[in-house]
Amino acid sequence: MDRKTGALLGALTADAAAMGLHWLYDQRRIAEIAGAAPEFRAPNAVDFVGAEGKPLGYFAHGGKRAGEPSHYGAQMLAMATSLARSGAYDAEDYAKAFREAFGPGGSWTGYIDRPTRETLAKMDRAAEGAPLSACGADDAQLPALSKLPPLLVRHHGEAGLPAMAASAVRVTNDRDDAAEWGAAFAAMLAAALEGAGPKACAAAARGHSARIDAQAEAALARKGETPAAAAAGFGLHCQLEVAFPAILHILGRAEDFASAARANIRAGGDSCGRAIPLGAILGACFAGDEARGIPADWLSRVSVPGALAALF
């Protein structure tokens, strides 16, 4: 497996592995029900209920089977669909693929997050002939990053990639800070594709904004903590303000794909949102390493759509 294939399969697999416990915010509950192998747990509403019926998170994936992607994975696959049919990134075609996936009658059946709802609503209100790619939500949550791995793999090393990545982020998350986090992730995945290890990939996030530099420092300051403790300290929700330093912290400690992906799941909260960038970077870093790469039995649990396979 080469690094580009590792990035795509890593993102797909890490997301699917986390889906069953996604948005369960109680780390003790995760440890109690999942033990040493929290990956690929079938979604079960009972898992999200504590003593006396107290909700411990948001159960979003009822009816999904273990190994299926979350809505984050579906967003990544919308980008792959566009790239496969266009041959290269085209903002308007990607916006159309996004709408085809998540709009009425679309291919996705399941949870729709807030930036997706807002983007679709703006697309519906757009004047005839107006660009759908200019309908992004005022939002800086993790969906800003979830579409990027296929684009970053397809156009790796090209001079126009930073502009393409910023454009793709803004199709759904039209904010300057969202674009900055997208640029940082692009630099991190580029480092992985070029041979860097996880710690060096985390370091590649620096230099894109003072905010991200501060997040890198915060992740480094917690290097002695477990990923679960660090993530709880940053915050477990969907905003990149808290999720990005948690991603950096896990990368800074990562020794192999499986243990890092499990650490992300055990941290709880928006584990699927963090899984896409983490899985892409780690899948690239450990590609070709049978002992430390994506476990073969994990790969056997996911279905790889043809549009994604076309980018291998």
pLDDT at 312 (0 to 100): 85
pLDDT at 203 (0 to 100): 96
pLDDT at 204 (0 to 100): 97
Claim: this prediction has a pTM higher than 0.85: yes
Q: Where are the domains of the chain?
A: 3-89+139-309
DSSP letter at 134? G
d(CA 266, CA 113): 22
CB 73 within 8 A of CB 276: yes
Q: Which of these, 27, 4, 1, 16, lies nearest to 281 by C-alpha position?
A: 4
pLDDT at 109 (0 to 100): 95
Name the token pair of 286: 């450990």
pLDDT at 246 (0 to 100): 98
CATH superfamily name and code, 3-89+139-309: ADP-ribosylation/Crystallin J1 (1.10.4080.10)
pLDDT tens for the chain, 312 residues: list them. Answer: 999 999 999 999 999 999 999 999 999 999 999 988 999 999 999 999 998 889 999 999 999 999 999 999 999 999 999 999 999 999 999 999 999 999 999 999 999 999 999 999 999 999 998 999 999 999 999 999 999 999 999 999 999 999 999 999 999 999 999 999 999 999 999 999 999 999 999 999 999 999 999 999 999 999 999 999 999 999 999 999 999 999 999 999 999 999 999 999 999 999 999 999 999 999 999 999 999 999 999 999 999 999 999 998
Q: Which of these, 248, 242, 240, 239, lies nearest to 219 by C-alpha position?
A: 248
pLDDT at 237 (0 to 100): 96
pLDDT at 247 (0 to 100): 98
Name the token pair of 182: 């997208």
- Alpha-carbon torsion angle 304, 256, 183, 106, nearest 10: 20
pLDDT at 2 (0 to 100): 96
Find the helix or strand (DSSP H, E) in which 66 lies. none
Helix/strand/coil for 137: strand
Q: Which amino acid is at 54?
A: K
Strands (E), the chain: none
What do you get for the CA distance between the two ends of the chain, in Å? 9
Name the token pair of 140: 């800086």
CB 283 within 8 A of CB 16: no
Helix/strand/coil for 24: strand
Q: Which of these, 246, 95, 101, 251, lies nearest to 173 by C-alpha position?
A: 95
